[in-house]
Amino acid sequence: MHVHASPPHHHWQHGRVLRFAGLAASVGLAESVYGVSANIILDSACHAITSWDIVTSCIKSWVFGTIIAVVGIPPFHCVLAPA
């Protein structure tokens, strides 16, 4: 069984791109549908988000990621047959 390992930073880059795409989509939707300026949205987001919001979101993502990883791992007593 061969597992292809990627560099550790590889997965972080995908997360950054997805977060940026989500923010860009939200701003684009607000501008095109509701006529709200991107500056207003980004300014209000900067004022609304506190450091506690960032800490709790990191904790939640760590907890849910750990749960998904543990559930997705096959039991340790299983032995894979060579391919």
**pLDDT the model gives residue 75:** 64
For residue 65, tell me if it sits in a domain.
Answer: yes
Q: Is the dihedral of CA 67, 12, 46, 24 positive or negative?
A: negative
Structural domain boundaries enclosing 59: 17-70
For residue 9, tell me if it sits in a domain.
Answer: no
The domain tally of the chain equals: 1
Burial class (CB in 10 A: 0-12, 13-18, 19+), 55: exposed
Give, for all 83 residues of the chain, the pLDDT tens digit.
444 555 555 555 566 666 778 778 888 888 899 898 888 888 888 888 888 888 898 899 899 988 888 887 766 555 566 66
For residue 76, tell me if it sits in a domain.
Answer: no
Instruction: State pTM to two decimals.
Output: 0.44
Instruction: Provide the total of helices (H) and of strands (E) in the chain, helices listed first.
Output: 3, 0
**pLDDT the model gives residue 59:** 92
**pLDDT the model gives residue 22:** 79
For residue 57, tell me if it sits in a domain.
Answer: yes
For residue 77, tell me if it sits in a domain.
Answer: no
